[in-house]
Amino acid sequence: MKKILLTIAAIALFAVPASAQVYSIWGDMEMNTCSADVAQYQPFDVYLFIQPGPLGVRAAEYMFTGIDGLTASLSEEVAASTLTQGAPLGSPGYTTAFAECYTDMFIVWHWTFVDLVGGTTGHFMVVDHELYEHITIAICDEDRTEADATVYNYFGVNTGCVVGTEESSWGAIKSMMD
């Protein structure tokens, strides 16, 4: 019974509110792979998704951090934008206005990376834009144009992905079940 209750609590902790604007990072377009085990010179893909809340997404501001030792061999902005500023990968961050109001999940960027050093480990993350205090998304509502965004996961390279909330991590929840 204890395991069932803890499992339900874990699912509730990781459930995303219906009104949330969420960034997530995956290794495939189907959003099944959140980490990559790679050898030296082996390419792998990373996709940055946004799941809009019910009011859609018109623009986004964020910083996508990479991992030292990896090189982007291909970089493609997938969502059509009308205005972009900054760097889509790394400092100081990226600001983009989309060509349309997106109301369904969409891919913002697609990168193909190569581990030139070999044995590189770390996580790709979406973090606060250096010029702003939080991750924001411009919604399509005329009365309220900005909403805070959350990050669903960190993409792991030669290590596991990280999915969690500010209050608890999946590892902490799993340890309660033993």
| Tens digits of residue pLDDT in 72-128 | 888 888 888 888 888 888 878 888 899 999 999 999 999 999 998 889 999 999 987
pLDDT at 5 over 60: no
| Tens digits of residue pLDDT in 93-102 | 888 899 999 9
pLDDT band at 133 (very low <50, low <70, confident <90, very high): low
With a pLDDT cut of 90, the percent of the chain lying above it is 40
The CATH number of the domain covering residues in 21-162? 2.60.40.680
pLDDT at 152 over 90: yes
Q: What one-character DSSP code corresponds to residue 86?
A: E
Pick the closest to residue 110 from 45, 66, 36, 23 (CA basis). Answer: 45
Ordered by start, the domain boundaries in the chain are: 21-162
How far apart are the C-alpha atoms of 80 and 175, rounded to whole Å?
Answer: 43
For position 103, what pLDDT does the model report? 93
Question: In the chain, helix, strand, coil percent, each to 5?
Answer: 10, 45, 40
For position 88, what pLDDT does the model report? 80
For position 85, what pLDDT does the model report? 85
The answer to pTM > 0.75 is: yes
Pick the residue with more confidence: 61 or 34? 34
